[in-house]
Amino acid sequence: MNLLAPLPPGWSELLRTALEVAATLAFALSGVIAAARQRLDVVGVCVVAFAAAFGGGTLRDLLLDQRPFFWVRHIEFVWALLALCLAAMALMRQRELALTERAILWPDAIGLGLFTAIGVDLGLAVGLPALAAVMMGVITSCFGGVLRDVLCNLLPSAFSDHRPYALWSFAGGWLHVGLLAAGLPPWLVLTVTVLFTAGMRLVSVWRGWSLPGWRV
């Protein structure tokens, strides 16, 4: 019995799609908030949201040679993203919400956890070694946020704020592999991976944990 097998056929694709929808919307919302903080117009907001939501998954699909890309296979993702952008912009304008850095924290952390679990699961599903599958989780969960910050003319926060980000994605990926190897049900493994990765990112910010920076 292969304990690193992906989710069982029949409901695996449905669960994976549901998680990917949630992750896409979470990162899209973080992109909307980041673009609004830079006072971009509606086109800029949509572009930044698109890059944040689909950037990591697109790079993952390129590396795994998955064609067409996941957002092309599920074009409803794009429609949902556009609807989210317009609704969020209307709500922010109407209520004049404070667009602080912390406003991005929750959707960004949730997206980090969801995309980590999805990336690792897809990597294992195509037969990658454990380390390569974990790296797929890191790429899927982190690259969209990097693109978002670059398009907003910011140094990517994943590299610069010293609060563990990609590190928790990497740790969550190995937790995913370890729990599968221990024989836990795949749905429970996915749930634990999401909660651990997102939760530890939030705890890191709350407690002020930081990684050592480069000192000259």
Cα three-residue angle 9-12-14, rounded to 5 degrees: 125
Tens digits of residue pLDDT in 59-116: 998 998 888 888 888 888 889 888 888 888 777 766 555 555 566 788 888 888 989 9
Among positive and negative, which fits the CA dihedral 38, 21, 199, 140? negative
Give me the mean pLDDT over the 174-181 stretch: 93
Residue 22 reports pLDDT greater than 50: yes
Q: What is the pLDDT of residue 216?
A: 59
The pLDDT confidence band at residue 207, using thresholds 50, 70 and 90, is confident
Burial tier of 148 (Cβ tally within 10 Å: 0-12, 13-18, 19+): buried
154: three-class secondary structure by DSSP: coil
Of residues 26 and 17, the one with the higher pLDDT is 26
CA 29, CA 33: separation in Å to the nearest integer?
A: 6
The amino acid occupying position 83 is A
Residue 3 reports pLDDT greater than 50: no
Closest by Cα among 138, 128, 166, 161 to 57: 138
Tens digits of residue pLDDT in 141-175: 989 889 998 998 888 877 777 788 889 999 999 99
Question: CB-hemisphere CA count at 13 Å for 128?
Answer: 21
pTM: 0.81
The pLDDT confidence band at residue 185, using thresholds 50, 70 and 90, is confident
% of the chain exceeding 90 in pLDDT: 24
Q: Look up residue 8 and give its DSSP letter.
A: P
Average pLDDT, the chain: 83
Tens digits of residue pLDDT in 187-202: 888 889 999 999 999 9
The pLDDT confidence band at residue 132, using thresholds 50, 70 and 90, is very high
Q: Which of 30-34, 37-41, 154-158, 169-173 has the highest mean pLDDT?
A: 169-173
Residue 41 reports pLDDT greater than 70: yes
Closest by Cα among 131, 123, 25, 124 to 78: 25
Q: What is the pLDDT of residue 2?
A: 44
CA 177, CA 120: separation in Å to the nearest integer?
A: 8
